[in-house]
Amino acid sequence: MAGAGKSPRAPRDGRSAAAEFERYVSRGSNRVFVVIVFFLALALLFFVRLLYLQVIMAPQYTAQAQESRTIGFTVEPRRGTIYDRNGHILAISVEATTIYANPSEIKEPGATSRAIAEALGGTASDYLDAVSQGEKSTFTFIKRKVDNDLAEKLKEQELPGIYFIKDTRREYPYGQTGGQVVGACSVAVDEENNREYYDGICGMELTYNTILSGTPGYYEAEVGADGTPIPGGVHESKPAVEGQDIVISIDIEFQEEVEADLAADLKRVGVPSGSAVVMDATTGEIYACASAPFFNPADRTNVPEGSMQLKAITNLFEPGSIFKTVSATAILEAETMTPDTMVTVPEYIEADGYIVADAYDHEQVDWSLRTIINKSSNIGISLSVEKYLGFDKFYNAILRYRFDQLTGVDYAGEQLGYLLDFDHWSRVQGYNVTFGQGISINAMQILCFYGALINDGVSQTPHFLLRKPQTGEVPTWDTHEIIYNKKAIEPMVSMLQTVVTDGTGTDAAIEGYDAAGKTSTAEIFDMEGGYREDAVNIAFTGFIANSNSPFVCFCGADEVPADRHVTPMFHDIMTHAINRYNIVPE
């Protein structure tokens, strides 16, 4: 029929039109289903990712975000104060300021570092690294323990990204005076905990470092964009436990006089090195102790070698003739001699192929034990010990007098000397030890022995610590009875008085007082063998007898090139003690 549309063709496979339409619709449904499944899978993937981020990774991301805006640092405790026996402050922690930066806020590092250098000192390059870390850092230390005035000068500039924390700094009001006793601290670094703290390196600061240090605390808080803590953002705050104070035995004003006397006398004998100690023999309390060259903990721009230690404690020496008092006391304890017992003293004696002689020439003479001590005769004391005591008993007396043991003084670095076991003594070794050669000790050991002569034969442990004020603790110290036969003390003291009135120690005499003691000129062992010929160590150890004085004093000069003496040092030091402590004759 013209103009009429064609009717649908029948499927070639003979299927009906209805079946073909149904197949077409079915194919479209599959496509829709695939699309739906795709979008469902995609949604599931996003859901899983969201679950991973918000549930599994959320704590980590939260921590990272918090870390980026969190500062944390150790809170250093206030270090304990050190006082002298009269309450004078010898070491103290004063208020200071630690300065830190938030580099992410600093847009002009160069200008900022120049401004810091202008206020704190140094050069801009000293601070440039700390302020140039950009957004990757929100906390760096600029300088710790800064003087408050300097910190205030910087604070006035209101530099973006620069902040300030209260801190403390160690100060030593008396500087050099007592510096070796008080000691010093260094700033130790704990890089793991980003911590700097004071650590004792010598003197009382080292010996009592643990109780002076206290216990550090910790501070952690979130900060805002300007680097300041957010209110309520403190995560952790553990207060620091302050260190304890200590009171030590030195009298800082007397210490100053002793140091001046030491310096003057060393200048007189022409050497830079020596020591002086004054101790209360009845208690062991050390009132003054000094070594030259001196040490100033408040100014360590120039620290002479060996100046940070008290040589009377940390250095060893062969005592020489001050040890003759030990030999004579042992003889008097045995009651085999009196000060008036006579001994034939030849020009020299020979033993084991060696010659033992006195420091001066003389013919064979008969001298009393008193004269032997007065004239400081090596030959006389050697023969006296050999004939009237015996070297074995002498050796046992040395052990009883504790020369083979440390004194126990509370000062880091005390050295124990050398004493050959008696089984290996030769005859010449016995002779030598009687006049203080072939044995080494520290000065505190001989001081304790002389102290026993004015303390009824009892040696006190020398010490600096008197008490801990916060706890009220007063430490106790060991005492040792070393002179058993008390009848030996009076004649020994009498002979030491004669040394000052008629013997080698006349320059130690103090008008109106009975000064007593013994001089010494000791050879110095040469590490290459034998003894040095170019120098000797000289010393004097003594006390004021027949008085209310409890003090025993050691004076020494090291490596003196000629025949000189330190008895004037004893005179000056003990004269100051007499005036300061109202010492009067009994």
Flag whether pLDDT at 47 surpasses 70.
Answer: no
> Token pair of 473, please?
């603790």
| DSSP bridge pairs for 74 | 218
Flag whether pLDDT at 461 surpasses 90.
Answer: yes
Neighbours of 305 (CB within 10 A): 6
CATH 3.90.1310.10 domain span(s) along the chain: 74-248
Neighbours of 157 (CB within 10 A): 12
Sign of the alpha-carbon torsion through 527, 531, 534, 540: positive
pLDDT digits (tens, 9 = 90+) for 467-482: 999 999 999 999 999 9
Which amino acid makes up residue 334? Answer: A
Residue 539 backbone dihedrals phi, psi, to 5 degrees: -155, 165
> Token pair of 124, please?
């801009």
| DSSP bridge pairs for 374 | none
Cβ pair 471, 465 in contact under 8 A: no
H-helix segments, 157-310: 179-182, 203-207, 209-213, 252-269
Contacts of 396 (CB under 8 A, 6+ apart): none
> Token pair of 1, please?
């029929």
Of 226, 233, 232, nearest to 138 by C-alpha is 226
pLDDT digits (tens, 9 = 90+) for 112-163: 999 999 999 999 999 998 888 777 677 888 888 898 999 999 999 989 999 9
| DSSP bridge pairs for 247 | 83, 467
Q: Kindly give the pairing relationship between strand 531-545 and strand 551-560.
A: antiparallel
CA distance 287 to 181: 11
Cβ pair 554, 542 in contact under 8 A: no
> Token pair of 299, please?
């100014």
Considering only residues 180 and 219, tell me which one the structure prediction assigns the higher pLDDT: 180
- pLDDT at residue 23, rounded to an integer: 60
pLDDT digits (tens, 9 = 90+) for 289-300: 999 999 999 999
Domain 252-295+308-580: CATH architecture, name and number where available: 3-Layer(aba) Sandwich (3.40)
CATH topology of domain 74-248: Penicillin-binding protein 2a (Domain 2) (3.90.1310)
DSSP helix/strand/coil, 276: strand
Give the pLDDT band of residue 65 (cuts 50, 70, 90): very low
pLDDT digits (tens, 9 = 90+) for 533-583: 899 999 999 999 999 999 999 999 999 998 899 999 999 999 999 999 999
| Residue pointed to by tokens 């013209």 | 2
| Residue pointed to by tokens 């004054």 | 278
pLDDT digits (tens, 9 = 90+) for 358-374: 999 999 999 999 999 99
Cα 509 versus chain centre, distance: 37
Give the pLDDT band of residue 334 (cuts 50, 70, 90): very high
pLDDT digits (tens, 9 = 90+) for 266-325: 999 999 999 999 999 999 999 999 999 999 999 999 999 999 999 999 999 999 999 999
H-helix segments, 52-160: 58-68, 109-120, 125-131, 148-155
Considering only residues 229 and 562, tell me which one the structure prediction assigns the higher pLDDT: 562
CATH 3.40.710.10 domain span(s) along the chain: 252-295+308-580
DSSP helix/strand/coil, 518: strand
pTM: 0.81
